[in-house]
Chain A
Amino acid sequence: MGISKAALAGTLESSDIQITLSPAANGIQIELTSAVASQFGEQIKKVITQTLQSLGIDNVAVKAVDKGALDCVIKARTIAAGQRALGQKEPAWEVL
């Protein structure tokens, strides 16, 4: 499924990640900016992709600006952005 509107979650503070989702048609496209991209870039993308898929989103453009976030933070921000993009009022607790 795709998303109908753009959504954002997270900040640019140290140890956070800002995830921006926009509607797109060609699968999950991630544009990642991170100071630790050379060491953790693939892992960050993997967490974002898996989290989006667990929400049922498989067509989306992702802009991720990472400030050294741990996997749990990346997952939380991606869920928040995803649920906002889907217009869900209540968190889908079962995917957490």
Chain B
Amino acid sequence: MLKNKVGVEISENVLKQYGYQPFAGTKIGHLISQRVAPAVHVMAGPSKVATSLADVVKNNVRDGMTISFHHHLREGDMVFNQVMQLIIDEGIKDLTLAPSSLTNVMNDMVIKAIKAGTVTHITSSGMRGSLGDAVSHGLLPNPVIFRSHGGRARAIETGKIKIDVAFLGVPNADEMGNANGMTGDAAFGSLGYALMDARYADKVVLLTDNIVDYPNTPASINQTQVDYVVKVDQVGDPDLIGSGATRFTKDPKELKIAQMVNSVITHSPYFKNGFSFQTGSGGAALAVTRYLRQAMIDQKIKASFALGGITKPTTDLLDEGLVKKVMDVQDFDKGAADSMHKNPAQQEIDSSWYADPFNKGAMVSKLDVVILSALQIDTDFNVNVLTGSDGVIRGAIGGHQDAATAKLTIISAPLVRGRLATIVPKMTSITTPGDSIDVVATELGIAINPARQDLVKQLSHIPGVPVYTIQELQQKAADIVGQPVPIQYIDRPVALAEYRDGTLIDVIHQVQE
């Protein structure tokens, strides 16, 4: 056993068997990273339109391959289940499933594919619901590898993930494969995550319900990358792709947390003309955007850019001129997706440009302020976004590790959720190292990472924002919920959580019944 930088004990066997170095710190350094290139099946025909998806699957997917999908269609996805069913029917075995992430609508099919022996390896940003539960109880023969969005981009560029066939759903495409995410019944906005697959997969199959006149512009994915265009009945259910019209939370606890976060931001030295920020899509994060808007108007401050997953409250700031550019890797709601189509200042970015630590500069490294969520936080400021208090996988890394490298990283989380403490002495797994977390904001008050004495000075006397140590907050949570019985694990890894640089930050074990 040896301990990595966040104190996780990892056996030499695990490191050796899966080819890992233990996580050693958040600094990336000036290494030279070698990129790989995909095979190109040269063609010059007049059209790539294939009529039968079954034939495309049959002629291109073989035992042992790595296949990929994107998750931009979220809970409205109608591509994944269709393709996986055909692959199962074909009797193909031992695939590595390497999607940008897995949504609940895919869960049953993934479980079916695992049980059929079709899928034996998975790498993803995360998983939830029945699939997370099944994997945590040992369904998959090999541990899932969890990677952040930036980590996946790195793994694809360096060949750690070698995609043989990418199946990418798009709301429009022409006969040669020029496509974007912005128009059509299943429009979802940015194709950020899928752009990596389109560039690096040996074979790229576009699935669309909307074949448009050639040449289709703007072309986020272009014809030089695409092998097949397959017409399907429907790629996504528009009602489930995004969370309709964004509604502001009325939950007093979430509003209180949002006020705390807003006060921290506006009292920090980073809140000045030209600052940049990233917020998530949760209730509190959306409320922060609303409070921040008012503070920006009041103090005549404009942001240079907003980054990451985008929501309508953020594109509203763009329309109002409060934010100059929106750098958009995915759109969480229809408002944000529509805005990308209309506003040239809303730039589509791929996940490498967004967050990849092994390129010539990712946008997260220019980020001033980020607000992130947490399932659990420990007293070293480490954050868990992958496993629940019961040790079961129920989340996704997303851009958490990547964006946390911002100059001011704020975790917004309630002190307790029902009977579960959010701030705990020991978490069920570590996703993001405390080194990159600066402030934890709860409904009771904030805790500042003692490594940031500059922030302790600047943020300790904000009216209405009590400051506690992280240990004090943990104790307050424990006083409310009581002492939980520790989770029992079986000594078998069901998932490996990579840090964004590809080192091993934690090993998630099978939970005992």
User: Smallest distance from the beta carbon of A80 to chain B beta carbons, Å?
Assistant: 19
Contacting pair B417 A40 (CB below 8 A) = no
Contacts of A14 in B (CB 8 A): 418
Contacting pair B485 A68 (CB below 8 A) = no
Query: Binding site of B, secondary structure by majority: helix, strand, loop or mixed?
Result: loop
Residue on A nearest B512 in the bound complex, by CB: A38
Residues of A43-76 contacting chain B, CB below 8 A: 43, 67-71
Contact with B along A70-89 (1 / 0, CB 8 A): 11000000000000000000
Residues of B461-497 contacting chain A, CB below 8 A: 480-485, 487
Total count of chain A residues near the partner, CB < 8 A: 15
Total count of chain B residues near the partner, CB < 8 A: 13
Contact with B along A23-44 (1 / 0, CB 8 A): 0000000000001101111110
CA distance A43 to B419 in the complex (A): 12
Contacts of A4 in B (CB 8 A): none
Contacting pair A36 B487 (CB below 8 A) = no
CA distance A43 to B483 in the complex (A): 9
Contacting pair B418 A67 (CB below 8 A) = yes
Contacting pair B418 A40 (CB below 8 A) = no
User: Smallest distance from the beta carbon of A12 to chain B beta carbons, Å?
Assistant: 13
Contacting pair A68 B418 (CB below 8 A) = yes
Contacting pair A36 B482 (CB below 8 A) = no
User: Smallest distance from the beta carbon of B341 to chain A beta carbons, Å?
Assistant: 38
User: Smallest distance from the beta carbon of A15 to chain B beta carbons, Å?
Assistant: 5
Contacting pair A70 B389 (CB below 8 A) = no
Contacts of B390 in A (CB 8 A): 35-36, 38-39
CA distance A69 to B418 in the complex (A): 6
Residue on B nearest A37 in the bound complex, by CB: B390
User: Smallest distance from the beta carbon of A76 to chain B beta carbons, Å?
Assistant: 15
CA distance A15 to B455 in the complex (A): 35
Contacting pair B419 A38 (CB below 8 A) = no
Residues of B89-110 contacting chain A, CB below 8 A: none
CA distance A15 to B390 in the complex (A): 17
Contacts of A67 in B (CB 8 A): 418
Contacting pair B419 A69 (CB below 8 A) = yes
CA distance A4 to B420 in the complex (A): 36
- Quick one: which of B480, B481, B485 contacts A38, CB cutoff 8 A? B485
Contacting pair B420 A68 (CB below 8 A) = yes
Contact with A along B400-414 (1 / 0, CB 8 A): 000000000000000
- Quick one: which of B417, B480, B485 contacts A39, CB cutoff 8 A? B485
User: Smallest distance from the beta carbon of A37 to chain B beta carbons, Å?
Assistant: 9
Contacting pair B485 A40 (CB below 8 A) = yes
Contacting pair A68 B487 (CB below 8 A) = no
CA distance A67 to B481 in the complex (A): 13
Contacting pair A40 B487 (CB below 8 A) = no
Contact with A along B494-512 (1 / 0, CB 8 A): 0000000000000000000
Contacting pair A36 B417 (CB below 8 A) = no
User: Smallest distance from the beta carbon of B375 to chain A beta carbons, Å?
Assistant: 14
Residue on B nearest A44 in the bound complex, by CB: B419
Contacting pair A39 B418 (CB below 8 A) = no
User: Smallest distance from the beta carbon of B202 to chain A beta carbons, Å?
Assistant: 44
Contacting pair B485 A15 (CB below 8 A) = no
CA distance A38 to B419 in the complex (A): 12
Q: A70 and B419 in contact (CB under 8 A), knowing A38-B390, A39-B390? A: yes
User: Smallest distance from the beta carbon of B170 to chain A beta carbons, Å?
Assistant: 38
Contacts of A70 in B (CB 8 A): 419, 480-482
Contacts of B418 in A (CB 8 A): 14-15, 35-36, 67-69
CA distance A67 to B483 in the complex (A): 17
User: Smallest distance from the beta carbon of B407 to chain A beta carbons, Å?
Assistant: 36
- Quick one: which of A15, A39, A43 contacts B487, CB cutoff 8 A? A39
Residue on A nearest B417 in the bound complex, by CB: A68
CA distance A42 to B483 in the complex (A): 11
User: Smallest distance from the beta carbon of B126 to chain A beta carbons, Å?
Assistant: 19
CA distance A39 to B481 in the complex (A): 11
Residue on B nearest A34 in the bound complex, by CB: B419
Contacting pair B417 A43 (CB below 8 A) = no
B419, B480, B481, B482 pick with most chain A CB within 10 angstroms:
B419
The 10 closest A-B pairs by CB, nearest first: A68-B418, A39-B484, A68-B419, A36-B419, A15-B418, A39-B485, A38-B390, A40-B419, A43-B482, A40-B484
Between-chain CB contacts (< 8 Å), 26 pairs: A14-B418, A15-B419, A35-B390, A35-B418, A36-B389, A36-B418, A36-B419, A38-B390, A38-B487, A39-B390, A39-B484, A39-B485, A39-B487, A40-B419, A40-B481, A40-B482, A40-B484, A42-B485, A43-B482, A43-B483, A68-B419, A69-B419, A70-B419, A70-B480, A70-B482, A71-B482
Chain A residues proximal to chain B, CB less than 8 Å = 14-15, 35-36, 38-43, 67-71
Chain B residues proximal to chain A, CB less than 8 Å = 389-390, 417-420, 480-485, 487
13 further A-B pairs in the complex, CB-CB below 8 A; given A35-B418, A70-B419: A15-B419, A36-B419, A39-B390, A39-B484, A39-B487, A40-B419, A40-B484, A40-B485, A41-B485, A43-B482, A68-B420, A69-B419, A70-B482
